[in-house]
Structure 1
Amino acid sequence: MGQKVNPIGFRTGIMQDWKSRWYASKKEYAELLIEDHKIRAYVSKKYKSAGIPEIQIERTRDEVKVVLYAARPGVIIGRKGTHVEQLQDELQALVGRRINIKIEEISRPELQAHLVAEDIAEQLAKRAAFRRTMKRALEQTMEAGAKGIKIQMAGRLGGAEMARREKQIAGSMPLSTLRAKIDYGFVEAMTPQGHIGIQVWINQGEYEDQNNGVDAQEGQASKKPKRSYKR
């Protein structure tokens, strides 16, 4: 059986950039990595309703730049930007460094796999039928302009005694094609019967800059020319 690889990790460093961009010595690396995890966990937990699928972190010598991609940026900004200043102070107290926050709005949240998975989890927590919820998510994502979508659920679906797995696919899903822009999201739905794992893959098309794949091509071994035989 083929093993499934996270599509984002599969393309990181080849077709898309890293979500944490900084350099550290061997002694500082572990400490800074834990700081990044603390920042992401704190922001995701506090502003769960803002719809934040991605948090990018850049470090310089003087400060830490945190870029939040949000479907509802107004929840984070607040009235006259008061919430941003408060969040900045809280993160500075958390990691003990100067923080600079930047917020980017997501124009089409229907094409973000993590947000689609979160929406499905909310519907399941409200006791919605899982097949109807999956079908609705498939239709909305395809109408938004996606090339393909795959949704997979695992757990006690519909309150069944035995846990099982179900999936639905629409459009194309070329997981092994590095040029294809595949977004992936995983969320756990808390239901009275137990946790249900929700995985979502969305094919957003192809990467615009085709030169990003040069590193992958250079890494391939050169093919030997075919031998010509003379009579």
Structure 2
Amino acid sequence: MTHKVHSKAFRIKGMEDFNIRGFYGKDMPKYLEEDFLIKDFLRKKLSEASVANIEIEHSANKLNIIIETARPGLIIGRGGEGVEILKKIIEKKIYDIKSPAKTKAPARQIKIDIKEIKNPWVSAMLVAQMSAQQVEKRMPFRQVLKRNIERVMQNKEVKGIRMEFSGRLNGVEIARKEWLRQGRMPRQTIRADIDYAIAEAHCTYGVIGVKVWIYKGDKFE
């Protein structure tokens, strides 16, 4: 029997890397709770900042958070005050839970790096977010499908795209799934550079799921 596998998880060993990196030791459960809390807070706090990805790196006495966004100015703020506010909130949240950082000295230094995504139309997460927002504004889902696929395929680095909507599409009684593909999409090829993301559109008649696959060619190490 076949099984559905996350496109990035399928490629982690050969072509992709984990979003959370570091050595946890015996305190792994506590650190994982801490990482989940940080990522959950940042996704909610920066929901309007077009955040594509959040990576967390652990070292001996440092915690490095890398945020990939298409709107870095909204996060950084005037004179970097936005980043400093985020640091203080994260420090407080880490201290509030029973994490190793609270019980062991010295306390870890938190660093936040902002990476700008210059072209949001080549990021699967940003395309999924924009599509979900358009559906929430009552745009017909087929129009969103065709328009966004055409916009993504205008980029030379993109070799193919697949976009899928599922749920009570246009408010009908019976939930269904519809998808559209343009170009190549070799989802079973491990060396294929496929960016995959999921987003949700919260409408008055229910939740619409949005999935996006963007194929950018093959990776050769």
State TM-score, norm by structure 2. Answer: 0.91
The question of 1:204 aligning with 2:203 is answered no
Matches within 5 A, 1:40-189: 40-96=39-95, 97-145=108-156, 146-189=158-201
Contact 2:52 2:68 survives alignment (8 Å)? yes
Paired amino acid for 2:135:
L
Shift, 1:143, TM fit: 0.5
The residue aligned with 1:15 is 15
* Farther-moved stretch of structure 1 (63-72 vs 13-22): 13-22
Output the CA distance in 2 between the equivalents of 1:121 and 1:52: 14
Shift, 1:98, TM fit: 2.9
Output the CA distance in 1 between the equivalents of 2:16 and 2:173: 42
Output the CA distance in 2 between the equivalents of 1:94 and 1:63: 16
Q: What is the CA deviation profile of residues 160-187 of structure 1, one whole-angstrom value per residue up to 9, with x for unaligned ones?
A: 1111110000000001111110011111
Shift, 1:103, TM fit: 0.6
Shift, 1:16, TM fit: 1.7
Q: What is the CA deviation profile of residues 136-179 of structure 1, one whole-angstrom value per residue up to 9, with x for unaligned ones?
A: 11001100231111011111101111111100000000011111
Output the CA distance in 1 between the equivalents of 2:11 and 2:35: 21
**SS of 1:55's equivalent?**
strand
4+ runs deviating over 2 angstroms: 1-4
Contact 2:77 2:83 survives alignment (8 Å)? yes
Output the CA distance in 2 between the equivalents of 1:192 and 1:144: 34
Output the CA distance in 1 between the equivalents of 2:3 and 2:14: 20
Paired amino acid for 2:170:
G
Shift, 1:2, TM fit: 3.5
Q: What is the CA deviation profile of residues 85-111 of structure 1, one whole-angstrom value per residue up to 9, with x for unaligned ones?
A: 111111111113431111110122111
**SS of 2:13's equivalent?**
coil
Contact 2:14 2:191 survives alignment (8 Å)? no
**SS of 1:141's equivalent?**
helix
Output the CA distance in 2 between the equivalents of 1:206 and 1:95: 40
Give the paired residue count. Answer: 208
RMSD of equivalent CA atoms: 1.2
Which of 199, 202, 207 matches 1:190?
Answer: 202
**SS of 2:41's equivalent?**
helix
Output the CA distance in 1 between the equivalents of 2:199 and 2:128: 6
Contact 1:182 1:202 survives alignment (8 Å)? yes
Stretches of structure 1 lacking an aligned partner (at least 5 in a row): 212-231
**SS of 2:110's equivalent?**
strand
Paired amino acid for 2:153:
M
Paired amino acid for 2:148:
A
Output the CA distance in 1 between the equivalents of 2:131 and 2:3: 25
Paired amino acid for 2:22:
W
Output the CA distance in 2 between the equivalents of 1:39 and 1:162: 37
Output the CA distance in 1 between the equivalents of 2:198 and 2:65: 22
The question of 1:24 aligning with 2:4 is answered no
Contact 1:64 1:98 survives alignment (8 Å)? yes
Output the CA distance in 2 between the equivalents of 1:28 and 1:185: 30
Please say which structure displays the higher CA radius of gyration.
1
The question of 1:3 aligning with 2:3 is answered yes
Paired amino acid for 1:107:
K
Stretches of structure 2 lacking an aligned partner (at least 5 in a row): 96-107
